[in-house]
Amino acid sequence: MTGDHGHAHGHGRRRLSQRVRHLLTPHSHDSADKVDSAMEASRDGMRALWLSLLGLGITAVIQAGVVVISGSVALLGDTLHNVADALTAIPLGLAFLVGRRAANRRYTYGYGRAEDLAGIAIVLVIAGSSALAGYEAVNRLLHPQPVHNLLAVAAAALVGFAGNELVARYRIRVGRRIGSAALVADGLHARTDGFTSLAVLLGAGGVAIGWPWADPAVGLLITVAILFVLRDAAREVYRRLMDAVDPRLVEQAEHALLDTPGVQTVGALRLRWIGHHLHAETDVVVDAALSLVEAHSIAVDAEHRLLHAVPRLAGATVHTDPATAAGADHHAPLSHHR
């Protein structure tokens, strides 16, 4: 008995020391750390935009020089396309800057939705690019024009493809890492411009072997490809506007809640994106015999587990329901929010 009693005291001291260390150790879900994380994500997004703008600007300048010496209308269209893609960095950059503003009594969730508005603008630019590409392809098919210095045109087309693909991969990677659907959509747009550059290359090859219709025909095919990418980008932005999340994130959150000691079942569970971060609201059922303090402790533990289990989750509201009071008049829930 003494040994068991001593073991119990030792176990209790360890739990006490663990709680003390937990209180004294900084956690990633502290409010100040959340702000720092959001600022870091915004800085990463701005860096991606500036580097992309520089890369596409250099690409457009090289292509413009070849346009002057070759008279290639196809390459001119591709150059203008690259310029338009570079300019999409402006509304997205403004959205990142607006998103840094702190929440207030009017915008209680902050300004993260500005990126969703920028995503709409980017989708419209992609749509305009596809319309312009289709128009130029049909116009060149009806009114063929001679192209000079085909080797220079081919080289410029390769430069355009390489520049756009590098920018696209960088934007998409950063956008997914920081949770920015608008930046991902912008990366997909850059990828469409790379395909347009390949159309110029194939068209130049066709003209070289005596097929003057090759360039506009391939241009029409690329227009169709751009429309497919437009569909993907529009769907991603639409889902973000409609508060859609990956179902796997919901499953991760449910598992974290069910693994919380004291949680019997999980009721409603909602996740939504606001800017770069997720926010959660959930109802959990606990024993009706628990005191208010005990129920609160379970809510705190559940929130803690959620913040560690779900990537990019910045805050959670945990609402506890007594197991035997579902639907009763004396239903007295408890919420915990950070």
Q: Answer yes or no: is 11 within a domain.
A: no
Any domain includes 3: no
Report the C-alpha gap between 96 and 241 in whole angstroms. Answer: 17
Helix (H, G, I), strand (E, B) or coil at 320: strand
User: 279 and 230, same structural domain?
Assistant: no
> Of 215, 241, 267, which closes a domain?
241
16 within a domain of the structure (yes/no):
no
Residue 179 included in any domain: yes
| pLDDT at 40 (0 to 100) | 53
- b/e 24-58 (16+ beta carbons within 10 angstroms → b): eeeeebeeeebeebbeebbebbbebbebbbebbee
Q: What is the pLDDT of residues 24-41, one digit of tens each?
A: 333 333 323 333 444 456
223 and 293 together in one domain: no
The per-residue DSSP string of 189-247 comes to: HHHHHHHHHHHHHHHHHHHHTT-TTHHHHHHHHHHHHHHHHHHHHHHHHHHHHTT---H
Do residues 199 and 317 both lie within one domain? no
The residue among 258 and 90 whose pLDDT is bigger is: 258
Domain with 57, as residue range(s), is: 31-241
pLDDT at 335 over 80: no
State the Cα angle at 228 between 192 and 278, rounded to 5°: 85
Evaluate whether 316 touches 338 at the Cβ level (below 8 Å).
yes
Q: Is the pLDDT of residue 58 over 80?
A: yes
Q: Which of 216, 241, 266 is the last residue of a domain?
A: 241
Q: Kindly state whether residues 165 and 307 are assigned to the same domain.
A: no
Q: Residues near 319 by Cβ (< 8 Å), separated by ≥ 6?
A: 281, 282, 283, 284, 299, 333, 334, 335
pLDDT of residue 286: 95
> What are the start-end ranges of the H helices in the chain?
2-24, 31-70, 73-87, 89-99, 114-142, 150-178, 181-208, 214-241, 247-258, 292-309
CATH number at residue 307: 3.30.70.1350
- Model pLDDT, residue 41: 63
Q: Which of 241, 274, 294 is the last residue of a domain?
A: 241
Same-domain status, 184 and 56: yes
Q: Do 187 and 328 belong to one domain?
A: no
Proportion of the chain above pLDDT 70, given as a percent: 82
Looking at residue 17, its pLDDT comes to 44
- Burial (CB < 10 A; 0-12, 13-18, 19+), residue 325, is middle
The domain total for the chain is: 2
Does the pLDDT value for residue 80 go beyond 60? Answer: yes
Is the pTM for the entire model greater than 0.85?
no
- The band of 303, judged by pLDDT with boundaries at 50, 70 and 90, is very high
